[in-house]
Structure 1
Amino acid sequence: MAQSTGPQAPQTAAVVLATTPAARLPCADGTILDRLGGQLDTLPVREVHVVARTSVPVGPGPADGSRGLVEDLRCVAKIARESTGAVVIVPGDVVAHTEALASVIEHPARDTTALVSDAPGPVPGAAPPGGPLTPPVRIEHGQVVSAGSSFHHVPAPNGVFRGVLQVGEADLGGLAEVADELADLVRAGRLGSVTGAEVGDLILVGLVRRGVPVRASRLGVLHCERVSGAAAADAALRGLAEVDESAARLDAAIKPDDGFVATYLVSSWSRHLVKLAARLSLTPNQVTGISTGLAFLAAIWFSEDSARGRLYGAALLCLSFVFDCVDGQLARYTRSFSPLGAWLDATLDRAKEYMVYIGLAAGYTAGAVAIGPWWGTIWTLAVAAMILQALRHMIDFSYAGARADAARDAAAQTPLPPRPLADPGDAPYAGPPPGPAGDSGLLRLARGLDRRQATRMLKKAIVLPIGERMALIAVTAALFDAKVTFLALLCWGGLAAVYTLTGRIARSLS
């Protein structure tokens, strides 16, 4: 449940392509371009460059005059070379929720990201999916693996690019090279009849074909439409009013497919606490502090030798986990992330759990005379539970690090060759197949279980995530005693460790 200390300083430069007549269509905020400029003013954007078919300044920032698509692409390349941070490319004729733009520009990764919609469907008054203003894309595992334009073909598209493309600082050199190469191809007439409205579409094609990882930011219920006339603009503006932007932002902050306890017993109502925390101007780290304090109080109550103490401790532990969920949800809701916050959250999760172990063992020891001979080994059980939990986390984190290192080494040794940008009908790279031939039967079974919600939740529960662990501790401590709690943690945790280790080995050998 990563979180942070606060928003970062603005580092993004925006390139607004006001090259179509629709950018100057009137609306309540002046023109469509004026409306977009007002939205960018509310986002962490350092500067705005307007590329227009005139040298006269228009819209929210200085204008670069251009006479056509070639000059548009050259302007983008120039800005990419001069920028010191991420660059976001936005059509001047886009009508979007501010939250849709923010999902790309305010994302803490500030990586290369395309705003896309899943399962394209017709929108009244808007350009049809797959048309000149809504180019098709293929999305796999959260990334755009194939992108199209009026010239470039996409095999088996499953989404639509909505025109907003951010290029991370690490990829700015590639952006400049792609824009210049596209300009040369347009000048040579090798991209067919592409139009000036397709600058962002062509750049996305170029980045994807060059192997640049492009994260897909999904619109969900939000709207982002490029318009071509007054009727389309009016329809798109009416569509914005049909969506509660604040509620959509809150929904996006809640993980939809977490563990069973977190998803159904906490996240189903914790949004109310997220809104309250935001209204009180609490930071995610402050909420983490509240969660830690509640866990400390739970440990104190567990250390009391009484049924009442165990019951109160269980209640406080459950409340601590609720706030542990809320801190991550608040971080996503306010988009206030940092490496320090993520590290602090993960570290305190372990500290809270071990504090509770100590409290349970101390309480059991205090009543050892009445309970029986188990008191002599209760600390052994507590230490064994701590060691097992530490080993399970080591397996998870070391495997993730090893996979990342292996992927980097493989990419360095056998990089994906750049694909031509001017081959009509060429099928762009579509990513790895969903089930490699070398997969074991165990992995194929695991993928089959992922297709159903019930079995997917069962798989998540088997590995004993933090929500299930806190629930297990609370229930067994309240109804029984620390001996039962530690034995349950060791049995279930041992099964989870074997399951996880078996899966890691199978994936490593496949």
Structure 2
Amino acid sequence: MQVQPDTVTQTVAVVLANTPAARLVCDGGTVLGRLTEQLTSIPVAVRVVGRAGGDLAEDLREIAVVARAGSAPLAIISGDVVAHTQAIAGLLAYPGRGTGALVGPDGPGPSPVRAEDDRVVAAGNSFHQLVGANATFRGVLQVGAADLRALASVAAELSDLARDDLLGGARDDEAADLLLAGLVRSGVRVAAVPLGRLHAERVAGQEAADAAFGRLGAVDEERARLDAAVKQDDGFFATYAVSTWSRHVVKAAAWLRLTPNGVTGISVGLALMAAIWFSSGTRAAQLAGAVALYLSFVLDCVDGQLARYTRQFSPMGAWLDATFDRVKEYVVYVGLAIGYSGGAVGGLTGPDGIWALAVAAMLLQAVRHMIDFSYAGAVADAAKVGSAYRTPSGTVAVAADGVGLVRLAGRFEKGAVTRWAKRIVVLPIGERMALIAITAAFFNAHVTFVALLVWGGIAALYTLTGRIARSL
């Protein structure tokens, strides 16, 4: 499943070259030169600002101007960062990331942060002291297009404070650190993007830079890039029945120079074959159709993994993927209903009302998708206009019942069993494809449609209840 870009405009990276470490020797060049080459290869548009021993207020003012005029995601990167390319790309190359910061394990350093539930909830620097840090900011910050206005406001305010010498002992090379703290304090949701096995660190001298390059070489970056292409928050069936081995298919597809859209097309072809086999109605054909449907879903996962691995994202690809997911599913419904009818008359709705069940299953899925898409749109609109109601004290007023349900859902996320149960009950596409394949292979289409309606009805009620609670 491919990633929907927030915008087709290329991300812009502002690299802060206001530290002497940016000009340390590296592979015959400099740390700054290596960093700009990495960013170009991702690719993002690079804009270098500042100079060694530069002015913090001036750099912040320039960032405010760029943010105010921009319409694409904007990255702010310290020029002394030594990192794996994939570590930086893990934040900048995936359009769905939005606003986020690259964070690593807790340790000594000037940029402590506290991360909770995969987001940065507090950030420190030489000016802002932080208690209870559990991670460190690694000098790479991306601000999504929706948060550019907030970034411009924070950068302008910090620039004025720096100009008036009101930022205490803040150093000239701490622009990114100050901006992260300012964004978090202003209420912007900043995702904490972990490094995993990869490395990214800021260096202060040649010895530290040499040691950092040594740590980069000790990691198989290509393997890490392949692992990163596999979604970590997928459904149960996709995680354990597909993602455990699909990375091999991704590597083969990349070697064959297949595009994500090409893989989507093959997935559609397999789904059509499954529908044709289902339509014959024989047990052998039902089994063959179930296998074809499973392989179609595997490639439905692989197209997104390939897009992340090769960094080939496009609005057309995301639209094709989402559209053909529905087309494949509904074509399979038709094939199942034809195969079950088997030429029998059975009235207008076929034997055992099979056509009525098929249409009901289609309508239920359409309603469920409508609930999801309309809710996502409402959340995005609310974020743009700041529609949350705030009390005179500045806190958000929320219905008590809604808070209780959301907190209960949050507690479920802390346990492995309950977390997977939550993901399974909503009947995501992986579980739906597995349900169709298994019931069609070992039972019949009547059982398939009844199971889809019962489980899908429970999922719709569960999802709708959760949406209402969060909306309150």
Alpha-carbon separation, structure 1, partners of 2:404 and 2:10: 49
Q: Is the 8 A contact 2:16 2:173 kept in 1?
A: no
Paired position in structure 2 for 1:503: 466
> Residue type of the partner of 2:429?
I
Alpha-carbon separation, structure 1, partners of 2:276 and 2:22: 63
Paired position in structure 2 for 1:394: 370
Alpha-carbon separation, structure 1, partners of 2:78 and 2:97: 19
Q: Is the 8 A contact 1:146 1:205 kept in 2?
A: yes
Paired position in structure 1 for 2:106: 120
Give per-residue Cα distances to partners, 1:369-391, cap 9 Å, x unaligned.
99xx9825221222222222222
Change beyond 3 A, Cα 1:95–1:67: closer
Q: Is the 8 A contact 1:29 1:35 kept in 2?
A: no
Alignment of 1:17-416 (within 5 A): 17=17, 19-53=18-52, 67-77=54-64, 80=67, 85-109=72-96, 111-117=98-104, 119-121=105-107, 128=108, 131-132=109-110, 135-168=111-144, 171-172=147-148, 174-366=150-342, 368=344, 375-408=351-384, 410-411=386-387, 414=390
Give per-residue Cα distances to partners, 1:305-331, cap 9 Å, x unaligned.
311111111110111111111112122
Paired position in structure 2 for 1:124: none
Shift of 1:261: 0.9
Shift of 1:213: 4.1
Change beyond 3 A, Cα 1:113–1:459: closer
Q: Is the 8 A contact 2:3 2:96 kept in 1?
A: no
Q: Is the 8 A contact 2:115 2:135 kept in 1?
A: yes
Deviates more, 1:479-488 or 1:320-329: 479-488
> Residue type of the partner of 2:279?
S
The number of aligned residues is 469
Give per-residue Cα distances to partners, 1:112-160, cap 9 Å, x unaligned.
432222x424xxxxxx2xx22xx12233454433322111133533322
> 5+ unaligned residues in a row in structure 1: which ranges?
54-65, 122-127, 418-428
Alpha-carbon separation, structure 2, partners of 1:28 and 1:160: 27
Identity %: 58
Shift of 1:81: 5.9
Give per-residue Cα distances to partners, 1:419-457, cap 9 Å, x unaligned.
xxxxxxxxxx9x989x99544655444333221112211
Alpha-carbon separation, structure 1, partners of 2:189 and 2:376: 19
Change beyond 3 A, Cα 1:141–1:171: same
Aligned residue for 2:225, secondary structure, equals helix
Alpha-carbon separation, structure 2, partners of 1:252 and 1:83: 29
Change beyond 3 A, Cα 1:416–1:288: farther
Q: Is the 8 A contact 2:294 2:434 kept in 1?
A: yes
Change beyond 3 A, Cα 1:438–1:148: farther
Of structures 1 and 2, the larger Rg is shown by 1
Q: Is the 8 A contact 1:3 1:345 kept in 2?
A: no
Change beyond 3 A, Cα 1:9–1:173: closer
Aligned residue for 2:75, secondary structure, equals strand
Q: CA RMSD in A?
A: 3.3
> Residue type of the partner of 1:36?
L
Alpha-carbon separation, structure 2, partners of 1:177 and 1:146: 19
Shift of 1:11: 4.9
Q: Is the 8 A contact 1:23 1:93 kept in 2?
A: yes
Give per-residue Cα distances to partners, 1:333-390, cap 9 Å, x unaligned.
22333333223222211111111111111111116499xx982522122222222222
> Residue type of the partner of 1:482?
A
Shift of 1:68: 3.8
Q: Is the 8 A contact 1:211 1:416 kept in 2?
A: no
Shift of 1:22: 2.3
Alpha-carbon separation, structure 2, partners of 1:168 and 1:468: 32
TM-score, normalising length: structure 2: 0.88
Q: Is the 8 A contact 1:4 1:336 kept in 2?
A: no
Alpha-carbon separation, structure 2, partners of 1:23 and 1:49: 11
Give per-residue Cα distances to partners, 1:4-50, cap 9 Å, x unaligned.
79x95645243332x33322322323332232233233232334324
Shift of 1:99: 1.4
> Residue type of the partner of 1:184?
D
- Higher normalized contact order (CA 8 Å, seq sep 6+, divided by chain length): 1
Change beyond 3 A, Cα 1:199–1:297: same
Paired position in structure 1 for 2:12: 12
Alpha-carbon separation, structure 1, partners of 2:35 and 2:271: 46
Shift of 1:293: 0.8
Change beyond 3 A, Cα 1:67–1:446: closer
Change beyond 3 A, Cα 1:495–1:34: closer
TM-score, normalising length: structure 1: 0.82
Alpha-carbon separation, structure 2, partners of 1:410 and 1:71: 30
Q: Is the 8 A contact 1:250 1:271 kept in 2?
A: yes
In the alignment, is residue 471 of structure 1 matched against residue 470 of structure 2?
A: no
Q: Is the 8 A contact 2:24 2:205 kept in 1?
A: yes
Aligned residue for 1:257, secondary structure, equals coil
